[in-house]
């Protein structure tokens, strides 16, 4: 893609993107399904999972759309140097997401799920934000938009993802409050940020 400047940049960008897809499939879907399929469930909500999945892939699509739009119209185009900043942010977002997934362990599920033995995890990235897996995805989407060198690719997909993950996070928090009660309310009072440390 000429937008990325040269072949090396393309290899870097797509290498990271495809690694993210593979990690997502294995760690966020396959492993949780195999590990949790026989566990006792107190509550499960499917609707927001479909919305989240569609929104995530739609964000990829519109990021590319606006990247081409900015490149050919020069509207919102960013200089080539920001490609490398975007790559660093993208890698950090992916790392942050899977740090959260691994820390949550057996309590992680791509579908909003409350297990019969559910406990509040307060270690790792959960010391800083209440929903770091969503936060990591937001950071990675932001980094991807910057790498694609379009201000529109940075802002619009991020806002769309933020709206959807906030809806899903609020749903999770209502379920956790209903099932666990005061312990989760105290955790919310202690950890005030939802997604990105010190920001949102």
DSSP state of 108: -
Confidence of residue 20 (pLDDT cuts 50, 70, 90): very high
Tokens describing residue 179: 């099932």
Please say whether the beta carbons of 165 and 138 come within 8 A: yes
Torsion of CA 145, 149, 155, 159, to 10 degrees: -10
pLDDT at residue 159 in the model? 95
* Angle of CA points 38, 105, 135, to nearest 5°: 125
What domains, with CATH codes, occur in the chain?
2-190 (1.20.120.1630)
Which tens digit of pLDDT belongs to each residue from 72-84?
Answer: 999 999 999 999 9
Which tens digit of pLDDT belongs to each residue from 104-159?
Answer: 988 888 888 888 888 899 999 999 999 999 999 999 999 999 999 999 999 999 99
Tokens describing residue 194: 């939802």
Which tens digit of pLDDT belongs to each residue from 43-76?
Answer: 777 778 888 888 888 988 999 999 999 989 999 9
Please say whether the beta carbons of 67 and 154 come within 8 A: no
pLDDT at residue 91 in the model? 97
CA dist 96 and 148 (Å) reads 21
Confidence of residue 1 (pLDDT cuts 50, 70, 90): low
């Amino acid at each position: 893609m000429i937008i990325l400047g040269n072949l090396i940049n393309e290899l870097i960008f797509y290498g990271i993107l495809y690694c993210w897809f593979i990690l997502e499939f294995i760690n966020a879907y396959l492993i949780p399904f195999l590990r949790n399929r026989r566990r006792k469930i107190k509550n499960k909500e499917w609707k927001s999972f479909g919305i989240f999945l569609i929104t995530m892939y739609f964000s990829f699509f519109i990021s590319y759309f606006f990247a081409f739009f900015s490149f050919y119209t020069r509207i919102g185009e960013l200089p080539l140097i920001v490609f490398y900043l975007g790559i660093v942010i993208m890698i950090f977002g992916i790392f942050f997401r899977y740090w959260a997934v691994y820390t949550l362990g057996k309590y992680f599920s791509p579908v909003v799920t409350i297990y019969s033995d559910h406990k509040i995890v307060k270690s790792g990235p959960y010391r800083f934000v209440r929903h770091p897996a969503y936060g990591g995805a937001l950071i990675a989407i932001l980094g991807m938009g910057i790498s694609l060198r379009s201000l529109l690719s940075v802002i619009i997909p991020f806002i769309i993802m933020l709206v959807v993950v906030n809806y899903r996070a609020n749903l999770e928090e209502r379920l956790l409050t209903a099932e666990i009660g005061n312990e989760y309310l105290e955790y919310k009072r202690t950890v005030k940020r939802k997604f990105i440390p010190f920001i949102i």
